[in-house]
Amino acid sequence: MTTSVEQINLWRQVPSEHQHLEFKEAKNQFDTRKLSEYCVALANEGGGVLLLGVADGPPREVVGTKAFPDTVAAAEKLFEAVGFRVDVESVAHPDGRVVVFHIPPRPRGTAYHLDGKYLMRAGEALVPMSEDQLRRIFAEGQPDWLEEPSRAALDGQQVVELLDTQSFFELLKLPYPTDRSGVIERLMHERLVDQVGAAFTIRRLGALALARRLGDFPDVARKAPRVVVYTGTSKLDTRVDQTFTRGYAAGFQELVRFVMAQLPQNEVIEDALRREVKLVPDVVIRELVANALIHQDFLVGGASVMIEIYNNRVEISNPGEPLVPLERFIDGYQSRNERLADLMRRTGICEEKSSGIDRVVQAAEVYQLPAPDFRTGFRRTSVTIYGPRPFDEMDRDARVRACYQHCALKWVMSERMTNQSLRERFHLEEGKAAVASQVIAATIEAGLIKPDESVGGSRKFARYLPFWA
Protein backbone atom coordinates (compact mmCIF):
# COMPACT_ATOMS: atom_id res chain seq x y z
CA MET A 1 0.00 0.00 0.00
CA THR A 2 1.56 3.28 -1.15
CA THR A 3 0.35 6.72 -0.09
CA SER A 4 1.17 9.66 -2.34
CA VAL A 5 2.02 13.19 -1.30
CA GLU A 6 -1.14 14.30 -3.10
CA GLN A 7 -3.27 11.97 -0.95
CA ILE A 8 -1.73 13.35 2.25
CA ASN A 9 -2.55 16.88 1.06
CA LEU A 10 -6.14 15.83 0.35
CA TRP A 11 -6.48 14.39 3.87
CA ARG A 12 -5.11 17.66 5.29
CA GLN A 13 -7.96 19.57 3.59
CA VAL A 14 -10.72 17.60 5.35
CA PRO A 15 -12.72 20.07 7.54
CA SER A 16 -12.25 18.05 10.72
CA GLU A 17 -10.90 14.78 12.02
CA HIS A 18 -13.42 11.97 12.23
CA GLN A 19 -13.74 8.29 13.16
CA HIS A 20 -11.60 7.28 10.17
CA LEU A 21 -8.94 9.98 10.14
CA GLU A 22 -6.53 11.14 12.86
CA PHE A 23 -3.55 13.54 12.75
CA LYS A 24 -0.74 13.73 15.30
CA GLU A 25 2.19 16.16 15.29
CA ALA A 26 4.66 13.78 16.99
CA LYS A 27 7.77 15.62 15.79
CA ASN A 28 10.20 13.40 17.68
CA GLN A 29 8.32 10.38 19.00
CA PHE A 30 4.89 8.94 19.74
CA ASP A 31 3.92 6.73 22.66
CA THR A 32 3.56 3.14 21.48
CA ARG A 33 0.80 2.42 24.00
CA LYS A 34 -1.21 5.39 22.74
CA LEU A 35 -0.61 4.26 19.16
CA SER A 36 -2.03 0.82 19.97
CA GLU A 37 -5.09 2.43 21.56
CA TYR A 38 -5.76 4.57 18.49
CA CYS A 39 -5.41 1.56 16.21
CA VAL A 40 -7.95 -0.40 18.27
CA ALA A 41 -10.38 2.53 18.41
CA LEU A 42 -10.19 3.28 14.68
CA ALA A 43 -10.55 -0.40 13.80
CA ASN A 44 -13.65 -0.68 16.00
CA GLU A 45 -15.24 2.22 14.12
CA GLY A 46 -14.66 0.87 10.64
CA GLY A 47 -10.93 1.37 10.11
CA GLY A 48 -9.06 4.46 9.01
CA VAL A 49 -5.77 6.29 8.76
CA LEU A 50 -3.50 7.77 11.44
CA LEU A 51 -0.84 10.22 10.27
CA LEU A 52 2.19 11.27 12.33
CA GLY A 53 4.07 14.41 11.40
CA VAL A 54 1.03 16.55 10.63
CA ALA A 55 -0.35 19.16 13.04
CA ASP A 56 -3.76 18.06 14.29
CA GLY A 57 -5.28 21.55 14.13
CA PRO A 58 -5.87 23.88 11.18
CA PRO A 59 -4.09 24.61 8.92
CA ARG A 60 -2.59 21.14 9.47
CA GLU A 61 0.94 21.92 8.47
CA VAL A 62 3.32 19.08 7.76
CA VAL A 63 5.93 19.36 10.52
CA GLY A 64 7.71 16.06 9.91
CA THR A 65 8.36 13.27 12.42
CA LYS A 66 11.28 11.18 13.61
CA ALA A 67 8.98 8.61 15.22
CA PHE A 68 9.22 4.96 14.20
CA PRO A 69 12.24 5.14 11.88
CA ASP A 70 11.88 1.41 11.15
CA THR A 71 8.33 1.01 9.86
CA VAL A 72 8.67 -2.77 9.45
CA ALA A 73 9.62 -3.18 13.11
CA ALA A 74 6.78 -0.80 14.09
CA ALA A 75 4.25 -2.96 12.20
CA GLU A 76 5.53 -6.11 13.91
CA LYS A 77 5.28 -4.57 17.39
CA LEU A 78 1.78 -3.29 16.65
CA PHE A 79 0.68 -6.76 15.58
CA GLU A 80 1.99 -8.20 18.84
CA ALA A 81 0.14 -5.53 20.83
CA VAL A 82 -3.26 -5.41 19.10
CA GLY A 83 -3.50 -8.80 17.37
CA PHE A 84 -4.28 -7.53 13.85
CA ARG A 85 -2.15 -6.26 11.00
CA VAL A 86 -1.64 -2.51 10.54
CA ASP A 87 0.25 -1.39 7.43
CA VAL A 88 2.86 1.27 8.23
CA GLU A 89 4.67 3.40 5.67
CA SER A 90 6.97 6.41 5.62
CA VAL A 91 6.17 9.12 3.07
CA ALA A 92 8.71 11.75 2.04
CA HIS A 93 6.52 14.84 1.92
CA PRO A 94 8.28 18.02 0.66
CA ASP A 95 7.70 19.64 4.07
CA GLY A 96 8.85 16.67 6.15
CA ARG A 97 8.58 12.94 6.78
CA VAL A 98 5.05 11.61 7.43
CA VAL A 99 4.34 8.16 8.89
CA VAL A 100 1.02 6.68 7.79
CA PHE A 101 -0.76 3.86 9.64
CA HIS A 102 -3.44 2.11 7.59
CA ILE A 103 -5.83 0.52 10.10
CA PRO A 104 -8.25 -2.15 8.85
CA PRO A 105 -11.89 -2.38 10.00
CA ARG A 106 -12.79 -4.95 12.62
CA PRO A 107 -14.42 -8.17 11.36
CA ARG A 108 -18.20 -8.28 11.41
CA GLY A 109 -19.50 -9.38 14.82
CA THR A 110 -16.13 -8.79 16.49
CA ALA A 111 -14.77 -5.91 18.56
CA TYR A 112 -11.08 -5.38 19.24
CA HIS A 113 -9.76 -4.64 22.71
CA LEU A 114 -6.49 -3.72 24.35
CA ASP A 115 -5.95 -5.42 27.71
CA GLY A 116 -9.72 -5.89 28.03
CA LYS A 117 -10.64 -2.32 27.04
CA TYR A 118 -12.85 -2.05 23.95
CA LEU A 119 -12.01 1.43 22.77
CA MET A 120 -13.65 4.01 20.52
CA ARG A 121 -13.18 7.71 19.82
CA ALA A 122 -15.29 10.42 21.45
CA GLY A 123 -14.18 13.79 20.12
CA GLU A 124 -10.49 14.10 20.95
CA ALA A 125 -10.58 11.37 23.58
CA LEU A 126 -10.45 7.58 23.52
CA VAL A 127 -13.12 5.99 25.68
CA PRO A 128 -14.37 2.46 26.41
CA MET A 129 -17.30 1.30 24.30
CA SER A 130 -20.61 1.11 26.13
CA GLU A 131 -22.38 -2.15 26.86
CA ASP A 132 -25.04 -1.23 24.28
CA GLN A 133 -22.45 -0.70 21.56
CA LEU A 134 -20.74 -3.98 22.29
CA ARG A 135 -24.02 -5.88 22.25
CA ARG A 136 -24.83 -4.40 18.84
CA ILE A 137 -21.44 -5.42 17.48
CA PHE A 138 -21.65 -8.96 18.83
CA ALA A 139 -25.18 -9.27 17.41
CA GLU A 140 -24.00 -8.45 13.88
CA GLY A 141 -24.74 -11.27 11.49
CA GLN A 142 -27.64 -12.44 13.62
CA PRO A 143 -31.20 -11.90 12.39
CA ASP A 144 -32.50 -8.34 12.83
CA TRP A 145 -34.92 -8.27 15.77
CA LEU A 146 -37.42 -6.17 13.82
CA GLU A 147 -37.43 -8.59 10.89
CA GLU A 148 -38.25 -11.64 13.00
CA PRO A 149 -41.83 -13.02 12.92
CA SER A 150 -44.25 -11.83 15.59
CA ARG A 151 -47.44 -13.70 14.63
CA ALA A 152 -47.48 -16.67 12.26
CA ALA A 153 -49.95 -19.09 10.64
CA LEU A 154 -52.50 -16.35 9.89
CA ASP A 155 -55.02 -16.09 7.09
CA GLY A 156 -55.60 -12.89 5.13
CA GLN A 157 -58.59 -11.86 7.21
CA GLN A 158 -56.61 -12.16 10.44
CA VAL A 159 -53.83 -9.99 9.00
CA VAL A 160 -56.16 -7.08 8.20
CA GLU A 161 -57.89 -7.46 11.56
CA LEU A 162 -54.57 -7.26 13.42
CA LEU A 163 -53.06 -4.40 11.41
CA ASP A 164 -54.50 -0.93 10.81
CA THR A 165 -54.17 -1.16 7.04
CA GLN A 166 -56.56 1.75 6.41
CA SER A 167 -54.27 4.16 8.26
CA PHE A 168 -51.25 2.67 6.50
CA PHE A 169 -52.56 3.47 3.02
CA GLU A 170 -53.71 6.91 4.13
CA LEU A 171 -50.27 7.73 5.55
CA LEU A 172 -48.61 6.60 2.32
CA LYS A 173 -51.21 8.65 0.37
CA LEU A 174 -52.19 5.58 -1.63
CA PRO A 175 -55.72 4.54 -2.63
CA TYR A 176 -57.02 1.66 -0.57
CA PRO A 177 -57.15 -1.54 -2.69
CA THR A 178 -60.52 -2.83 -3.77
CA ASP A 179 -59.90 -6.29 -2.36
CA ARG A 180 -58.02 -7.90 0.53
CA SER A 181 -55.45 -9.52 -1.73
CA GLY A 182 -54.30 -6.06 -2.86
CA VAL A 183 -53.83 -5.03 0.78
CA ILE A 184 -51.81 -8.15 1.57
CA GLU A 185 -49.74 -7.70 -1.57
CA ARG A 186 -48.73 -4.19 -0.51
CA LEU A 187 -47.83 -5.34 3.00
CA MET A 188 -45.68 -8.08 1.51
CA HIS A 189 -44.07 -5.58 -0.87
CA GLU A 190 -43.14 -3.47 2.17
CA ARG A 191 -41.75 -6.62 3.86
CA LEU A 192 -44.08 -6.21 6.81
CA VAL A 193 -45.84 -9.48 6.09
CA ASP A 194 -44.50 -12.74 4.61
CA GLN A 195 -46.33 -15.61 2.97
CA VAL A 196 -45.37 -19.07 4.18
CA GLY A 197 -47.21 -21.65 2.15
CA ALA A 198 -50.90 -20.76 2.26
CA ALA A 199 -50.55 -18.77 5.52
CA PHE A 200 -49.11 -15.37 6.41
CA THR A 201 -46.63 -14.16 9.02
CA ILE A 202 -46.50 -10.61 10.42
CA ARG A 203 -42.99 -9.38 11.15
CA ARG A 204 -42.25 -7.46 14.35
CA LEU A 205 -41.69 -4.33 12.24
CA GLY A 206 -45.20 -4.65 10.82
CA ALA A 207 -46.66 -5.15 14.28
CA LEU A 208 -44.80 -2.20 15.82
CA ALA A 209 -45.74 0.15 13.00
CA LEU A 210 -49.34 -0.84 12.26
CA ALA A 211 -50.82 -2.89 15.10
CA ARG A 212 -54.38 -1.99 16.06
CA ARG A 213 -53.42 -3.27 19.54
CA LEU A 214 -49.81 -4.00 20.38
CA GLY A 215 -51.14 -6.33 23.06
CA ASP A 216 -52.15 -8.74 20.26
CA PHE A 217 -48.42 -9.26 19.66
CA PRO A 218 -46.92 -10.53 22.96
CA ASP A 219 -43.29 -10.11 21.88
CA VAL A 220 -43.71 -6.39 21.07
CA ALA A 221 -46.43 -5.41 23.56
CA ARG A 222 -43.84 -4.14 26.06
CA LYS A 223 -42.55 -1.68 23.45
CA ALA A 224 -45.70 0.45 23.64
CA PRO A 225 -44.93 4.11 24.53
CA ARG A 226 -46.10 5.29 27.94
CA VAL A 227 -47.21 8.78 28.96
CA VAL A 228 -47.07 9.75 32.64
CA VAL A 229 -48.34 13.11 33.89
CA TYR A 230 -47.36 14.39 37.35
CA THR A 231 -49.13 17.11 39.32
CA GLY A 232 -45.94 18.94 40.34
CA THR A 233 -42.24 19.02 39.58
CA SER A 234 -41.47 15.57 41.04
CA LYS A 235 -42.69 11.99 40.64
CA LEU A 236 -44.49 11.98 44.00
CA ASP A 237 -48.03 12.46 42.68
CA THR A 238 -49.16 10.88 39.39
CA ARG A 239 -52.24 12.30 37.68
CA VAL A 240 -52.23 10.25 34.43
CA ASP A 241 -50.46 7.04 33.46
CA GLN A 242 -51.44 5.81 30.02
CA THR A 243 -49.87 3.31 27.64
CA PHE A 244 -50.54 3.76 23.91
CA THR A 245 -51.23 0.42 22.34
CA ARG A 246 -51.56 1.35 18.65
CA GLY A 247 -48.63 0.86 16.29
CA TYR A 248 -46.08 3.66 16.03
CA ALA A 249 -47.07 4.84 12.54
CA ALA A 250 -50.80 4.21 12.87
CA GLY A 251 -51.07 5.87 16.29
CA PHE A 252 -48.44 8.60 16.11
CA GLN A 253 -50.78 11.54 15.58
CA GLU A 254 -53.04 10.35 18.38
CA LEU A 255 -50.03 10.03 20.72
CA VAL A 256 -48.76 13.56 19.96
CA ARG A 257 -52.25 15.07 20.36
CA PHE A 258 -52.64 13.35 23.74
CA VAL A 259 -49.27 14.64 24.96
CA MET A 260 -50.07 18.18 23.83
CA ALA A 261 -53.43 18.02 25.62
CA GLN A 262 -51.67 17.14 28.89
CA LEU A 263 -49.12 19.96 28.78
CA PRO A 264 -49.53 22.82 31.28
CA GLN A 265 -50.64 26.18 29.88
CA ASN A 266 -48.58 29.33 30.30
CA GLU A 267 -50.03 32.83 30.13
CA VAL A 268 -48.16 35.30 27.93
CA ILE A 269 -48.86 38.92 27.02
CA GLU A 270 -48.45 40.05 23.42
CA ASP A 271 -49.59 43.44 22.13
CA ALA A 272 -51.24 44.09 25.51
CA LEU A 273 -53.38 40.94 25.12
CA ARG A 274 -53.19 37.90 27.36
CA ARG A 275 -53.24 34.47 25.76
CA GLU A 276 -52.60 30.90 26.84
CA VAL A 277 -49.79 28.89 25.24
CA LYS A 278 -48.57 25.36 25.85
CA LEU A 279 -45.48 24.77 27.97
CA VAL A 280 -43.64 23.32 24.94
CA PRO A 281 -44.54 23.85 21.24
CA ASP A 282 -46.01 21.07 19.13
CA VAL A 283 -42.99 20.82 16.78
CA VAL A 284 -40.67 19.99 19.70
CA ILE A 285 -42.91 17.22 21.06
CA ARG A 286 -43.44 15.75 17.61
CA GLU A 287 -39.76 15.61 16.71
CA LEU A 288 -38.55 14.28 20.06
CA VAL A 289 -41.24 11.60 20.36
CA ALA A 290 -40.54 10.41 16.81
CA ASN A 291 -36.81 10.38 17.57
CA ALA A 292 -37.32 8.32 20.74
CA LEU A 293 -39.52 5.75 18.98
CA ILE A 294 -37.21 5.32 16.01
CA HIS A 295 -33.84 5.26 17.76
CA GLN A 296 -34.65 3.05 20.73
CA ASP A 297 -32.72 -0.18 21.26
CA PHE A 298 -35.26 -2.98 20.91
CA LEU A 299 -32.82 -5.49 22.41
CA VAL A 300 -33.15 -3.84 25.83
CA GLY A 301 -35.85 -5.90 27.51
CA GLY A 302 -38.51 -4.68 29.90
CA ALA A 303 -38.25 -1.05 28.77
CA SER A 304 -40.24 1.31 26.58
CA VAL A 305 -40.32 4.90 25.38
CA MET A 306 -41.39 7.16 28.24
CA ILE A 307 -42.94 10.63 27.99
CA GLU A 308 -43.09 12.23 31.44
CA ILE A 309 -44.84 15.57 31.89
CA TYR A 310 -44.21 17.81 34.90
CA ASN A 311 -45.45 21.29 35.70
CA ASN A 312 -42.25 22.89 34.42
CA ARG A 313 -40.74 20.41 31.95
CA VAL A 314 -41.18 17.39 29.69
CA GLU A 315 -38.79 14.42 29.80
CA ILE A 316 -38.73 11.99 26.87
CA SER A 317 -36.55 8.89 27.07
CA ASN A 318 -35.96 5.69 25.16
CA PRO A 319 -34.16 2.40 25.84
CA GLY A 320 -30.55 2.22 24.68
CA GLU A 321 -27.55 4.52 24.58
CA PRO A 322 -27.12 6.72 21.49
CA LEU A 323 -25.01 5.75 18.48
CA VAL A 324 -23.99 9.40 18.03
CA PRO A 325 -22.25 11.34 20.86
CA LEU A 326 -24.67 13.67 22.65
CA GLU A 327 -22.76 16.79 21.59
CA ARG A 328 -23.09 15.74 17.92
CA PHE A 329 -26.87 15.30 17.88
CA ILE A 330 -27.28 18.54 15.92
CA ASP A 331 -24.94 17.74 13.03
CA GLY A 332 -24.72 13.95 13.13
CA TYR A 333 -27.12 11.19 12.18
CA GLN A 334 -27.01 7.42 12.39
CA SER A 335 -30.18 5.38 12.50
CA ARG A 336 -30.24 2.42 14.84
CA ASN A 337 -33.30 0.93 13.12
CA GLU A 338 -33.01 1.78 9.44
CA ARG A 339 -36.13 0.04 8.18
CA LEU A 340 -38.30 1.57 10.90
CA ALA A 341 -36.79 5.00 10.18
CA ASP A 342 -37.47 4.59 6.46
CA LEU A 343 -41.07 3.56 7.08
CA MET A 344 -41.67 6.46 9.46
CA ARG A 345 -40.13 8.84 6.93
CA ARG A 346 -42.37 7.66 4.11
CA THR A 347 -45.44 8.00 6.30
CA GLY A 348 -44.50 11.62 7.04
CA ILE A 349 -43.55 11.13 10.68
CA CYS A 350 -39.83 11.91 10.40
CA GLU A 351 -37.43 13.16 7.73
CA GLU A 352 -34.44 10.82 8.30
CA LYS A 353 -31.94 13.53 7.35
CA SER A 354 -30.62 14.72 10.71
CA SER A 355 -32.89 17.78 10.77
CA GLY A 356 -35.15 16.77 13.67
CA ILE A 357 -32.84 17.88 16.48
CA ASP A 358 -31.94 21.02 14.51
CA ARG A 359 -35.63 21.87 14.41
CA VAL A 360 -35.97 21.26 18.15
CA VAL A 361 -33.02 23.52 18.97
CA GLN A 362 -34.28 26.20 16.61
CA ALA A 363 -37.76 26.07 18.17
CA ALA A 364 -36.21 26.40 21.63
CA GLU A 365 -34.54 29.62 20.48
CA VAL A 366 -37.67 31.03 18.82
CA TYR A 367 -39.88 30.30 21.84
CA GLN A 368 -37.23 31.43 24.33
CA LEU A 369 -36.94 28.00 25.96
CA PRO A 370 -33.82 26.80 27.77
CA ALA A 371 -31.67 24.61 25.54
CA PRO A 372 -32.74 20.93 25.40
CA ASP A 373 -30.80 18.85 27.91
CA PHE A 374 -29.70 15.57 26.27
CA ARG A 375 -28.38 12.91 28.62
CA THR A 376 -27.42 9.27 28.59
CA GLY A 377 -27.62 6.84 31.47
CA PHE A 378 -27.54 3.11 31.99
CA ARG A 379 -29.17 1.67 28.86
CA ARG A 380 -31.26 4.82 28.37
CA THR A 381 -31.14 8.13 26.48
CA SER A 382 -33.24 11.09 27.57
CA VAL A 383 -33.94 14.71 26.71
CA THR A 384 -35.51 17.31 28.98
CA ILE A 385 -37.32 20.36 27.62
CA TYR A 386 -38.20 23.16 30.03
CA GLY A 387 -40.86 25.78 29.60
CA PRO A 388 -40.02 29.42 28.76
CA ARG A 389 -37.43 30.93 31.09
CA PRO A 390 -35.79 34.37 30.87
CA PHE A 391 -32.02 34.61 30.68
CA ASP A 392 -31.70 35.89 34.26
CA GLU A 393 -33.29 32.67 35.56
CA MET A 394 -30.97 30.32 33.64
CA ASP A 395 -28.06 28.85 35.57
CA ARG A 396 -24.52 28.63 34.20
CA ASP A 397 -24.96 25.13 32.76
CA ALA A 398 -28.15 26.11 30.92
CA ARG A 399 -26.47 29.18 29.43
CA VAL A 400 -23.40 27.23 28.31
CA ARG A 401 -25.58 24.48 26.82
CA ALA A 402 -27.65 27.07 24.93
CA CYS A 403 -24.51 28.82 23.67
CA TYR A 404 -23.03 25.56 22.35
CA GLN A 405 -26.26 24.47 20.67
CA HIS A 406 -26.69 27.92 19.12
CA CYS A 407 -23.13 27.75 17.79
CA ALA A 408 -23.66 24.24 16.36
CA LEU A 409 -26.99 25.27 14.82
CA LYS A 410 -25.34 28.24 13.12
CA TRP A 411 -22.64 25.91 11.77
CA VAL A 412 -25.08 23.46 10.17
CA MET A 413 -26.93 26.46 8.66
CA SER A 414 -23.60 27.55 7.07
CA GLU A 415 -23.50 30.60 9.35
CA ARG A 416 -21.31 31.53 12.31
CA MET A 417 -22.15 32.47 15.87
CA THR A 418 -21.27 35.98 16.99
CA ASN A 419 -21.84 37.97 20.15
CA GLN A 420 -24.81 39.60 18.41
CA SER A 421 -26.40 36.32 17.30
CA LEU A 422 -26.06 34.94 20.84
CA ARG A 423 -27.71 38.07 22.28
CA GLU A 424 -30.56 37.55 19.83
CA ARG A 425 -30.86 33.93 20.94
CA PHE A 426 -31.16 35.04 24.59
CA HIS A 427 -33.26 38.14 23.73
CA LEU A 428 -30.62 40.41 25.26
CA GLU A 429 -30.38 44.07 24.31
CA GLU A 430 -27.24 45.50 22.71
CA GLY A 431 -26.05 46.89 26.04
CA LYS A 432 -25.69 43.32 27.33
CA ALA A 433 -22.80 42.48 24.97
CA ALA A 434 -20.49 41.96 27.96
CA VAL A 435 -22.92 39.43 29.45
CA ALA A 436 -22.99 37.49 26.19
CA SER A 437 -19.19 37.58 26.11
CA GLN A 438 -19.09 36.01 29.57
CA VAL A 439 -21.29 33.15 28.36
CA ILE A 440 -19.07 32.68 25.29
CA ALA A 441 -15.96 32.61 27.49
CA ALA A 442 -17.54 30.00 29.80
CA THR A 443 -18.47 27.84 26.79
CA ILE A 444 -14.93 28.07 25.40
CA GLU A 445 -13.61 27.12 28.85
CA ALA A 446 -15.92 24.08 28.80
CA GLY A 447 -14.28 23.01 25.53
CA LEU A 448 -17.52 23.18 23.53
CA ILE A 449 -16.75 26.06 21.16
CA LYS A 450 -13.66 27.78 19.79
CA PRO A 451 -12.87 31.10 18.07
CA ASP A 452 -12.98 31.15 14.28
CA GLU A 453 -9.33 31.83 13.47
CA SER A 454 -10.12 32.78 9.88
CA VAL A 455 -11.21 36.27 11.01
CA GLY A 456 -7.98 36.95 12.91
CA GLY A 457 -7.81 38.27 16.46
CA SER A 458 -10.45 40.99 16.13
CA ARG A 459 -12.79 40.94 19.13
CA LYS A 460 -15.28 43.19 17.40
CA PHE A 461 -15.75 40.81 14.48
CA ALA A 462 -15.14 37.59 16.43
CA ARG A 463 -16.97 34.50 15.26
CA TYR A 464 -17.15 31.10 16.90
CA LEU A 465 -17.30 27.45 15.84
CA PRO A 466 -18.30 24.21 17.58
CA PHE A 467 -15.25 22.43 19.00
CA TRP A 468 -15.47 19.70 16.33
CA ALA A 469 -15.68 22.04 13.34
Whether the predicted pLDDT of 269 surpasses 50: no
pLDDT (tens digit, 9 = 90+) per residue, 393-420?
Answer: 999 999 999 999 999 999 989 999 999 9
**3-state class (DSSP) for residue 346:** helix
Position 267 scores a pLDDT of 56
| Mean pLDDT value across residues 121-149 | 84
Closest CA to 42 of 13, 17, 6, 15: 17
Residue 294 above 90 pLDDT?
yes
Whether residue 443 has pLDDT greater than 50:
yes
- pLDDT for position 185: 96
The span from the CA of 248 to the CA of 393, in Å, is: 37
Q: What string of H, E and C letters represents the secondary structure of 295-333?
A: HCCCCCCCCCCEEEECCCEEEEEEECCCCCCHHHCCCCC
| Pick from 276, 239, 232, 282: nearest CA to 259 | 282
Separation between Cα atoms, residue 303 and residue 77, nearest integer Å: 45
What pLDDT is recorded for position 354? Answer: 52
- Whether the per-residue pLDDT at 352 is higher than 70: the answer is no
What is the amino acid identity at position 71? T
Per-residue confidence (pLDDT) for residue 324, from 0 to 100: 81
Is it the case that residue 123 has pLDDT exceeding 80?
no
- For domain 5-138, the CATH superfamily is Schlafen, AAA domain (3.30.950.30)
Q: Is the pLDDT of residue 272 over 50?
A: no
**What residues contact residue 393 under an 8 Å CB cut-off, 6+ apart?**
none
pLDDT band of residue 142 (cuts 50, 70, 90) is confident
Q: How far is CA 118 from CA 38, 132, 263, 339, 393, in A?
A: 11, 12, 43, 28, 42
Of the candidate CATH numbers 3.30.2320.30, 3.30.565.60, 3.40.50.2300, 3.40.50.720, the domain formed by 224-386 belongs to 3.30.565.60
- DSSP E strands, 25-171: 48-52, 87-93, 96-103, 119-122, 125-128, 149-154
Mean pLDDT of the chain: 91
Question: Using CA of residue 341, residue 347, residue 352, residue 355, what is the dihedral sign?
Answer: negative
C-alpha to C-alpha distance for 465 and 469, rounded to whole angstroms = 6
pLDDT for res 273? 47
**66-102 confidence digits (pLDDT tens):** 999 999 999 999 999 999 999 999 999 999 999 999 9
Confidence band for 270, pLDDT divided at 50, 70 and 90: low
Q: Taking residues 176-191, report their average pLDDT.
A: 96
Alpha-carbon span 298 to 66, nearest angstrom? 49
Q: What is the pLDDT of residues 301-349, one digit of tens each?
A: 889 999 999 999 999 999 998 878 888 888 776 778 989 999 999 998 8
pLDDT at 330 (0 to 100): 84
**Four-way CATH pick for 395-466: 1.10.10, 3.90.930, 2.40.128, 3.90.75:** 1.10.10
Q: What is the pTM of this model?
A: 0.75
Q: What is the pLDDT of residue 278?
A: 82
**CA-CA distance, 151 to 464, in Å (whole number)?**
54
pLDDT tens-place string over residues 98-114: 999 999 999 988 999 99
Query: Do 5-138 and 395-466 have matching folds?
Result: no
Domain-wise residue ranges, the chain: 5-138, 145-219, 224-386, 395-466
Mean pLDDT, rounded, for 258-273: 72
Task: Please write the tens of the pLDDT for every residue from 204-244.
Answer: 999 999 999 999 999 999 999 999 999 999 999 999 999 99
What pLDDT is attached to residue 368?
86
> By three-state DSSP, how is residue 440 classified?
helix
